[in-house]
Amino acid sequence: MKFDPQNMIAACTQHHIYWWHKSPLEADAWLRRHLGEQQYQYLFRLRDAYKEKQWFIPELTELLAQAEQDLASYGKHYEPHRPSL
């Protein structure tokens, strides 16, 4: 959701951290008033579309195997910079 332009508002640190996150009910009411009901509902449908992925054993096994291959070849492609003293 963070990359969807319709989910962005400009806010200074004071309002973002110390008002938005500290007063979620008030922030929600403000958002609903300023966006309108249709746009507000769009954001909640968007949020629901990004539910956390459930991982299954075959997918995790494949990811682990790929990570192990990448790690084994890491030293072949990377030479750390060590400044001479």
Give the Cα separation of 85 and 82 in Å (integer). 9
CB 81 within 8 A of CB 39: no
Mean pLDDT of 65-81: 70
The answer to whether the predicted template modeling score (pTM) of the entire model surpasses 0.75 is: no
The secondary structure of residue 3, as a DSSP letter, is T
Model confidence over 7-64: pLDDT tens digits? 778 888 888 889 989 999 999 999 899 888 998 898 888 887 777 677 788 988 888 8
What was the pLDDT predicted at 24? 92
Give the Cα separation of 53 and 31 in Å (integer). 28
- The secondary element (H helix, E strand) that includes residue 14 is helix 13-15
* E strands in 33-74: none
User: 7-15 long-range contacts, Cβ below 8 Å, gap at least 24?
Assistant: 7/43, 7/46
